[in-house]
Amino acid sequence: MSHEGHQQQQQREPIKYGDVFNLSGDLANNPVAPRDAAMMQAAETVAFGDTQRGGPADVMTTAAAINQQAGLVGHGDVTDIAKNQGVTITGTRVPGARMVTETFAGQVVGQRVQIASTHEAAATVAAGEVEQDKLTMGQALEATIQTAGNKPVEYSDAAAVAEAEMRATGRNAVLQGGYGASAHSAAAYNTGMIGDENKIKLKDVLAGASRGFPAKEVTRADAEAVAHTEQRNSPNLTTHPGGIGSSIDTAARLNEDDDDDLR
């Protein structure tokens, strides 16, 4: 093979998880995929209020973008093992600090210690990151703006928003003039539109949810109900990576981790 041909072959190799993280097994040999990155973005946004500079989501997003630009992965690609095992962010309290661990598909991809006495840790609390009270339904929904805000609202999204709102308010019906009703109207409007440019996006219907929803803490039962509703109303019977179900699931996991830390 010529030197030029060898270079072209090297350039066609995608960035794999083993290239950017210290991983083992099949996951290390998989290309970094865009929807995997979206899942990690969703988890960090719910946990920290935004993705962390230089953190796992930042690294995965950059690698996935390079792979996609090179035509080596598609925009909708997701790694099977990641789809099955998902993303988790856990916080373990230790005296004067908190150990935060991020896992992807069952393997650790990031870990750091937050020292409670430092100015940075104080800023973390003020920003609503992991060292806060339980995450609420409204916070989880509004976090979706960061990870899937430009997604056109579909009926599966509207159903998920309505389910989340009903569980937050304790009502058994969609609240007239509420977030669920607005999302259903947006989905109906989008159905008649050609192209995504002029469609109503999730960021348009979820803005202000952290203040507009009752301060209902997200539970595992909430997450399962919202995910089931989103799946049931999706043509593909799936939840959208980084979408509503994903954000609420992450919030539930973090709330459960806080309970474990206090035992």
On whether the pTM is more than 0.85, the answer is: no
Neighbour tally for 245: CB within 10 Å: 29
SS3 16: strand
pLDDT digits (tens, 9 = 90+) for 8-35: 444 578 999 999 888 888 999 999 998 8
What is the DSSP pairing of strand 97-104 with strand 87-94? antiparallel
Find where tokens 């981790």 sit.
Answer: 257
Angle between helices 220-232 and 244-262 (to 10 degrees): 160
pLDDT at residue 157, rounded to an integer? 97
pLDDT at residue 123, rounded to an integer? 39
Best mean pLDDT range from 104-113, 144-153, 160-169: 160-169
pLDDT digits (tens, 9 = 90+) for 155-166: 999 999 999 999
- CA 154 – CA 39 distance, rounded (Å): 19
pLDDT at residue 251, rounded to an integer? 86
Using CA atoms, how far residue 222 sits from 10, 22, 168, 170, 226, in Å, is 46, 34, 9, 11, 6
Find where tokens 């309505």 sit.
Answer: 162
The identity of residue 253, as a single letter, is R
What percentage of residues in the chain have a pLDDT greater than 70?
Answer: 83
Best mean pLDDT range from 137-141, 172-176, 239-243, 251-255: 137-141
pLDDT at residue 181, rounded to an integer? 93
Q: The tokens of 44 are what? A: 């960090």
pLDDT at residue 116, rounded to an integer? 57
- In which element (H, E) is residue 98 found? strand 97-104
Of the candidate ranges 49-63, 72-86, 104-118, 233-247, the one whose mean pLDDT is the lowest = 104-118
The residues near 83 (Cβ < 8 Å, ≥ 6 apart) are: 241
pLDDT at residue 77, rounded to an integer? 87
Using CA atoms, how far residue 112 sits from 52, 117, 131, 247, 258, in Å, is 12, 15, 13, 22, 17
Evaluate whether 81 touches 26 at the Cβ level (below 8 Å). yes
pLDDT at residue 219, rounded to an integer? 94
Residue 103 has pLDDT above 50, yes or no: yes
pLDDT digits (tens, 9 = 90+) for 114-137: 665 444 444 343 333 334 468 899
Mean pLDDT of the chain: 82
Bigger pLDDT: 143 vs 111: 143
Residue 38 has pLDDT above 90, yes or no: no
Q: How far is CA 23 from the centre of its chain?
A: 21
